[in-house]
């Protein structure tokens, strides 16, 4: 990093360097934690929501067909009714099993799981860095007026650079992390509609044989 922004320079211009620097570090730490946690939570919730919507789509199609089968129960031979009911029950189970297995093994969802683990490491690393910076500034405050000022000014400048660099890395990671959501959405859709075939296509085939 060749220089610092106005936010960083304003900290060095204030009278109480130590307190202002410590407050700034704490704010950056809290902001990074909130942004990282939010990105992770939103992505995990999105995947969970898409999975639940997929399961609901399967259930809705099969349930509607079962209602139709039940409505015509007394108008068709018993074996036809039993066959249709059995086929729809098997279809529900097999489609859900395939869908969930496909999602679990999809590249994007596996990447999200790995990145979630990495986010914990990145967050812990950022916290460790800010704690070291805080400790260094606090130690400088024990060196007497002039010593504290000289030590503190140097320490604050270096700590600010480190924190800004770490925060920038965190932001890039969050952008990359969030981008995985687009890939996950595509993969989950493909798992629900393999080769462009909907659950309703299978249901319609069973109902054609039934009627």
Tell me whether residue 200 is exposed, middle or buried, using C-beta atoms within 10 angstroms of its C-beta: 0 to 12, 13 to 18, 19 or more: middle
Per-residue pLDDT, 2: 45
Residue 105 has pLDDT above 90, yes or no: yes
Q: How far from chain centre, in Å, is Cα 40? A: 3
Are residues 21 and 137 in contact, defined by beta-carbon separation less than 8 angstroms?
Answer: yes
Contact 181, 44 (CB under 8 A): no
Nearest-CA neighbor of 139 among 127, 128, 125, 155? Answer: 155
HSE at residue 201, side-chain half, CA atoms within 13 A, is 8
Per-residue pLDDT at 165 exceeds 80: yes
| Collapsed DSSP state (helix, strand, coil) of residue 67 | helix
- Three-state DSSP at 6 gives helix
pLDDT one-digit tens code per residue, 169-209:
888 888 888 888 899 999 999 999 887 666 777 777 777 76
Q: Mean pLDDT of all residues in the chain?
A: 81
Rounded Cα distance, 151 and 140, in Å = 5
pLDDT in tens, 10-44: 444 444 666 777 888 888 888 888 888 888 889 98
pLDDT of 84 over the 70 cut: yes
Is it the case that residue 125 has pLDDT exceeding 90? no
21, 156 Cβ separation under 8 angstroms:
yes
Output the pLDDT for position 17. Answer: 60
pLDDT higher than threshold 90 for residue 58: yes
Average pLDDT over residues 35-62: 92
Question: With bands split at pLDDT 50, 70 and 90, how would you rate the model's confidence at 97?
Answer: very high
Angle, vertex CA 79, rays to CA 78 and CA 85, nearest 5? 90
Alpha-carbon 99 to chain mean position: 20
What's the CA gap between 6 and 97, in Å, rounded? 55
**Contact by Cβ (8 Å): 22, 137:** yes
- Listed by start position, the domains of the chain span 34-210
């Amino acid at each position: 990093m060749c220089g610092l922004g106005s936010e960083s320079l304003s900290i060095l211009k204030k009278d109480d360097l130590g307190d202002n620097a410590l407050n700034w570090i704490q704010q950056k730490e809290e902001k990074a934690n909130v942004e990282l946690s939010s990105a992770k939570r939103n992505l995990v919730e999105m995947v969970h929501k898409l999975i639940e919507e997929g399961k609901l789509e399967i259930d809705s199609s099969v349930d509607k067909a079962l209602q139709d089968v039940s409505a015509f129960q007394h108008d068709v031979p018993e074996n036809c009714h039993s066959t249709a009911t059995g086929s729809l029950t098997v279809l529900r189970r097999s489609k859900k099993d395939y869908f969930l297995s496909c999602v679990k093994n999809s590249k994007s969802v596996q990447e999200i799981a790995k990145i979630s683990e990495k986010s914990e490491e990145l967050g812990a690393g950022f916290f460790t860095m800010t704690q070291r910076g805080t400790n260094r500034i606090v130690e400088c405050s024990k060196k007497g007026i002039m010593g504290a000022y000289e030590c503190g000014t140097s320490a604050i400048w270096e700590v600010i650079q480190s924190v800004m660099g770490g925060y920038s890395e965190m932001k890039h990671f969050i952008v990359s992390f969030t981008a995985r959501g687009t890939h996950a959405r595509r993969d989950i859709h493909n798992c629900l509609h393999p080769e462009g075939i909907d659950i309703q296509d299978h249901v319609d085939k069973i109902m054609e044989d039934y009627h």
